Amino acid sequence: MDEFKYVFDHSQYVKVNLDRIIDFVNEAELPKYEHWSTEIKLNLTEKEWILLVFIIESMNFCFWQKPKWKIEYHGDELSGSNALFYAIIKEIEQNPYFLNIDYLYQLTKEELYNLFKPKEGAISLFEERYHNFREVVSFIYNQKDFYQEIYSIKSDLELLKYITDHFKSFDDKSDYKGKTIHFNKRATLLVNDLFYVSKTIQKNLSNVNHLSGCADYGIPRTFRDYGILEYSSELQDLVDNEKEILAGSEMEIEIRANMLYVIECIKEEFHKKGISINSVQLDNLIWLMGKKNKNKKSNVHHTVTIFY
């Protein structure tokens, strides 16, 4: 929270309308939180679930580029992160060896690409996704005590640190006006995933209440639509005209950090109303609200990155 407050205090391009946060909390009708794994009908062991979420989150980033990458799954057309999830799920359904670490270690770049079988378009940043996939698979393959190590971890922040320490592709941080801001969006999602798919990890951690939200593209747009985030004219012009904002730039850092600051403020307001919710749950529910909003007025910001 302190890091995000630092950016909030020093922001030039993004401002937070604190009054609209109160209005949002009073108006919001949040759906019940359910982790996505509850919808997946797979008969997997605990270790296979752990391997699956590591693989998925290693490649779960940057789906805004056009043309949209789409796949078909059981008659439904899916795009973005859903397409990534279900392309992998489809492969597991058809290939009983897929969640074998020896098999994954031998998987070639071409074989991984063919796994996605796009209905139209092509999955963007495939080289980067393959690199992240290889980093995860190689580490788990070579670290013979991997499962024992993560089973020994007793807190959500300790597990987050283990992930960012051992996997560079998950170490999502930026320098802003002399201070390092840790976002760790995909690592946060991964810790949350591990908590829900592994009974052992869930018992060890007890909760994931110390994690922040997940700074991405969608929620800043929702906050703009609600008048919570306000952009300078320069930033507004870039976002509204779909011009790229560089990863690690002050503009990008201010969008992401202020979004996370707002998540924490909203959480505090819900707690005042006697509604218990953690930052990741709240983040996910606001993301769903944005997805269901048929009256979107704002654009997402466009940044090419492996971190979200």
Above 70 in pLDDT, residue 120? no
Q: What is the pLDDT of residue 295?
A: 75
What was the pLDDT predicted at 119?
Answer: 66
| pLDDT over 90 (residue 159) | yes
Q: For residue range 209-241, what is the model confidence (pLDDT) as tens digits?
A: 999 999 999 999 999 999 999 999 999 999 999
Look up the pTM and report it: 0.95
Mean pLDDT of 271-292: 92
Higher pLDDT, 90 or 120: 90
Q: Among 123-137, 138-152, 286-300, where is mean pLDDT lowest?
A: 286-300
With a cut of 80, say whether residue 25 has pLDDT above it: yes
Delimit the domains of the chain by residue range: 2-30+43-65+124-292
Average per-residue pLDDT in the chain?
95
The percentage of residues in the chain with a pLDDT greater than 70, rounded to a whole number, is 99
Q: Which residue has the tokens 């994931």?
A: 208
